[in-house]
Structure 1
Amino acid sequence: MNMGNLVEKIKKKEAIIGIIGLGYVGLPLVIEFCRAGFKVVGFDTNEEKVEVLRQGKSYIHHIPEEKIKACLPRFTPTADFSKLSEVDCIIICVPTPLNRYREPDMTYVFHTGKTIAQYLRPGQLVVLESTTYPGTTDEDLRRILEESGLVAGRDFYLAYSPEREDPGNRDFSTSEIPKVVGGINRESLEVARAMYGEIVAKTVPVSSTRVAEAVKLLENIYRAVNIALVNELKLLFDRMGIDIWEVIEAASTKPFGFQAFYPGPGIGGHCIPVDPFYLTWKAREYDFHTRFIELAGEINAQMPYHVVQRTIEALNERGKSIKGARILVLGVAYKKDVDDMRESPSLKIIQLLEEKGAVVDYNDPYIPEIPRLRKYDFRKQSVPLTAENLRKYDCVLVATDHSAYDERFLLENAQLIVDTRNLIRQRSEKVKKA
């Protein structure tokens, strides 16, 4: 196998890129490779998504249709995985969730690996981008792919490059974020670097796929632990009568040695609530107990319960019981200005409120309805945010601080506001922080 052949093909933009999983990670990669002049085949098992993309439309809020339409001359979305044999480079961008026991659910990655093995041919590059535990690429995925009869590092190239997507972040696009790359051998690393080097400003080579896998985990464990720290301080400062938001704002003026993290109703998204537990699970093989990670997980997981308790207390102060109370939750996306509900703490809050007997509606300008989900089955539709509607509710609970939510409008029309995001800066008897 001559590494130079594929590298030269990549540099000439003659290589065909195959991307498996056309979601928040895969679709931005499609756009960047098409923009760079490559032909791209996008694979997804969801035929409805495939058809939407064929029509030049987008199902992700922060990815405008114009970008999809611009790709179509070079982009072929498909649910036919036999076309994997036609591409030169295969990038895997499938989900890696946790199961009910908070252990890695590798179903999507392993099933994808088995599918690739059916069509794998000599000289292809396979790169895993899904967040996972160290050893996934060079142990598990390698073993599955070699069921094809081909040997990784000899007959095909195998690498890992962690995704660093931050949906809705306007400061950094995919092409501007440095790309960490690790290969199972030198040749795999160089081919993967050559491919990513065509679409990103900088590649960061590391010594192995395990190091690259660990990089992604460190990035998100760092965030999870620090968010847990400020969440715990918030609970303490509440009892002490101190505003955590004012404390963070003042501490942020220090030009060194401090980075601001903010409390909230819990953590959500595809990374922070999930990724740390991939390392926790893998650590058991080494008889190691990851105390910081597990403690951070416990603190963050308790925040929705704290929010519900604060809501009950706020209602009680007004002589209202939680049972039968009408509550409007503002925002079910896991963070502001995105249409992503994955692991959103808002969903847990709704569940807990309803278990207490509350009548719960929601509003989210980016999510018109909550369909049946893996953990929840609410089947709710977003309520229009009008003055008349706001006045109907005993409590308005701010769970996501979307830019569309106007502080003055809420203060003028809501009877009671429980604010988990510091959206309401003005001091008011109507507002309770949670």
Structure 2
Amino acid sequence: MNTELLARLDRKTGVIGIVGLGYVGLPLTLRYCEVGYKVVGFDIDPMKVEALKAGKSYIEHIQSERIFDVVGRNFYPTTDFSRVSEVDALILCVPTPLNKYREPDLSFVLNTMDSVLPFLHEGMVISLESTTYPGTTEEELKPRIEQRGLKVGKDIFLVFSPEREDPGNPNFGTRSIPKVCGGCTPACLEAGLALYRHVIDKVVPVSSTQVAELTKLLENIHRSVNIGLVNEMKIVADKMGIDIHEVIRAAATKPFGFVPYYPGPGIGGHCIPIDPFYLTWKAREYGMHTRFIELAGEINSSMPDYVIAKVAAALNCRSKSINGSTILVLGIAYKKNVDDVRESPSVFLMERLRDQGAKLAYSDPHVPTFPKMREHHFDLSSVTLNAETLESFDCVLLATDHDRFDYDLINQKSRLVVDCRGRFSEGASHIVRA
């Protein structure tokens, strides 16, 4: 069974199924199509599927032309999960958020598995790419598959291979980012390597799914902890009257032993604010309390409150309060030059300002209309950034430093700028670092 599957994947005659056509699944889909595989793309959102069928992209950094070139030729988007029966490989790229108690929410993964279970068949490989705690693949997916009478490692092959997409990064894409892969058995790993080796330049095998799962958590916890450190350093430096950005630039001249991280108003995206809590939750099963990881999370989560305090103090110096002031938030994406607002600290800033009575607007060239979100609601559209707009606000809050902003114009025409990103030089009376 394994030999036949490997042959189909190597000849590119095997059909690839990808569940979840978002920031992870859609680039991966296009990569498989571009090297010659047939791909059936699954998503529960009919609007996404209809857009793809029309050859249109809903992700800014993915050009519609790439979709138009493959849809109907070797890319078939659908909401019909019965078509899982047609595929030789099934890759799950669905969200793994936290619930309101900051605990892992595997509902998307498990609901997806429940949807596809009736259509699984012998001689296929399943890969979970969604970030999760060590043990998920073996403890949650494997038993469900084997309840169908399919023996993992013999009839069907199960791997974990975490996504490493970095939207908007011009230097690394789906093909060039090395792919870690761990299997439930050696035969599973062999199938996983065959699944990815023709679309990814370098596939990195590891000894188990648990190793692969923990690898992804370590990558993102590494970032979370270092961002927490530099955010705390920012607060200390501010109390001392020192420019933390100048300090970072100077430290970064050391050619070894130092990696620059940059402070901000918090952390966002689908990984760094969430993934550390998957490990802290699982560690409790082993009687462990991950103090270092949780402390970094606390510092990063507190940054929006620090920024709001800076805004309040800056307005107070001008005989104003947040209540009743007009505030323009620059950038609502979670990082520069992307259109992704998931877990964006800008959104948390906007909610805190709204709760304190501010009259809000935002400008973001990548997000023309405030998107529908499960927990955050604003009926706003991006305002045009020009001299008249800037002059009309009591405060301009730079939350996400997109390259498309005209920083000279912002500096010259704003009455007050609260800068969370270190884009403006301190010294001018209307610039406040936060």
TM value normalised by structure 2:
0.99
1:267-416 aligned at under 5 Å gives the runs 267-416=267-416
Partners of 1:116 and 1:145 within 8 A in 2? no
Find the counterpart in structure 2 of residue 76 from structure 1: 76
Find the counterpart in structure 1 of residue 15 from structure 2: 16
Q: Shift in Å at residue 371 of structure 1?
A: 3.3
Find the counterpart in structure 1 of residue 214 from structure 2: 214
Question: Structure 1 unaligned runs (5+)?
Answer: none
1: CA distance, partners of 2:34 / 2:425: 42
2: CA distance, partners of 1:115 / 1:372: 25
2: CA distance, partners of 1:344 / 1:421: 14
Partners of 2:426 and 2:432 within 8 A in 1? no
Find the counterpart in structure 1 of residue 25 from structure 2: 26
2: CA distance, partners of 1:372 / 1:188: 39
Find the counterpart in structure 2 of residue 135 from structure 1: 135
Alignment partner of 1:111 is 2:121: no
Deviations 1:155-211 (A, max 9, x none): 100000000000000001110011000000001101110110000111100000000
Deviations 1:377-406 (A, max 9, x none): 122111111211111100000000001111
Find the counterpart in structure 2 of residue 160 from structure 1: 160
Bigger mean CA offset, 203-212 vs 4-13: 4-13
Partners of 2:179 and 2:204 within 8 A in 1? yes
SS in 2 for 1:23: coil
SS in 1 for 2:204: strand
Find the counterpart in structure 2 of residue 53 from structure 1: 52
Question: Match of 1:273, as an amino acid?
Answer: P
Q: Shift in Å at residue 353 of structure 1?
A: 0.7
Q: Shift in Å at residue 139 of structure 1?
A: 1.1
Q: Shift in Å at residue 357 of structure 1?
A: 1.1
Q: Shift in Å at residue 369 of structure 1?
A: 1.4
Partners of 1:110 and 1:144 within 8 A in 2? no
Partners of 1:269 and 1:342 within 8 A in 2? yes
Question: Match of 1:4, as an amino acid?
Answer: T
Q: Shift in Å at residue 146 of structure 1?
A: 2.1
Partners of 2:386 and 2:409 within 8 A in 1? no
Partners of 2:61 and 2:168 within 8 A in 1? yes
Q: Shift in Å at residue 239 of structure 1?
A: 0.4
Partners of 1:11 and 1:198 within 8 A in 2? yes
Bigger mean CA offset, 366-375 vs 24-33: 366-375
Q: Shift in Å at residue 349 of structure 1?
A: 0.3
Find the counterpart in structure 2 of residue 420 from structure 1: 420
Equivalent pairs, count:
433
1:136/1:422 CA distance change after superposition, 3 Å: same
Find the counterpart in structure 2 of residue 432 from structure 1: 432
Find the counterpart in structure 1 of residue 41 from structure 2: 42
Find the counterpart in structure 1 of residue 240 from structure 2: 240
2: CA distance, partners of 1:252 / 1:371: 37
Question: Match of 1:247, as an amino acid?
Answer: V
Bigger mean CA offset, 366-375 vs 348-357: 366-375
SS in 1 for 2:175: helix
1: CA distance, partners of 2:283 / 2:74: 43
Find the counterpart in structure 1 of residue 88 from structure 2: 88
Q: Shift in Å at residue 147 of structure 1?
A: 2.5
Partners of 1:328 and 1:393 within 8 A in 2? yes
Q: Shift in Å at residue 149 of structure 1?
A: 2.0
Question: Match of 1:155, as an amino acid?
Answer: D
Q: Shift in Å at residue 352 of structure 1?
A: 0.6
Q: Shift in Å at residue 372 of structure 1?
A: 3.5
Question: Match of 2:10, as an amino acid?
Answer: K
2: CA distance, partners of 1:409 / 1:283: 49
Find the counterpart in structure 1 of residue 3 from structure 2: 4
Partners of 1:370 and 1:378 within 8 A in 2? yes
Q: Shift in Å at residue 102 of structure 1?
A: 0.5
Find the counterpart in structure 2 of residue 178 from structure 1: 178
Q: Shift in Å at residue 427 of structure 1?
A: 4.2
Question: Match of 1:376, as an amino acid?
Answer: H
Q: Shift in Å at residue 354 of structure 1?
A: 1.1
SS in 1 for 2:147: helix
Q: Which runs of 4+ in 1 moved over 4 A?
A: none
2: CA distance, partners of 1:372 / 1:164: 25
Question: Match of 1:210, as an amino acid?
Answer: Q
Question: Match of 2:65, as an amino acid?
Answer: E
1: CA distance, partners of 2:33 / 2:8: 15
Partners of 2:2 and 2:154 within 8 A in 1? no
1: CA distance, partners of 2:343 / 2:7: 42
Q: Shift in Å at residue 42 of structure 1?
A: 0.2
2: CA distance, partners of 1:173 / 1:120: 30
Partners of 2:426 and 2:433 within 8 A in 1? no
Q: Shift in Å at residue 411 of structure 1?
A: 1.2
1: CA distance, partners of 2:372 / 2:23: 20
2: CA distance, partners of 1:307 / 1:285: 36
Q: Shift in Å at residue 116 of structure 1?
A: 1.7
Q: CA RMSD in A?
A: 0.9
Bigger mean CA offset, 376-385 vs 7-16: 376-385
Deviations 1:303-343 (A, max 9, x none): 00000000000111111111100000000000001000000
Deviations 1:210-255 (A, max 9, x none): 0000000000000000000000010111001011000000000000
Partners of 1:20 and 1:90 within 8 A in 2? yes
Question: Match of 2:21, as an amino acid?
Answer: L
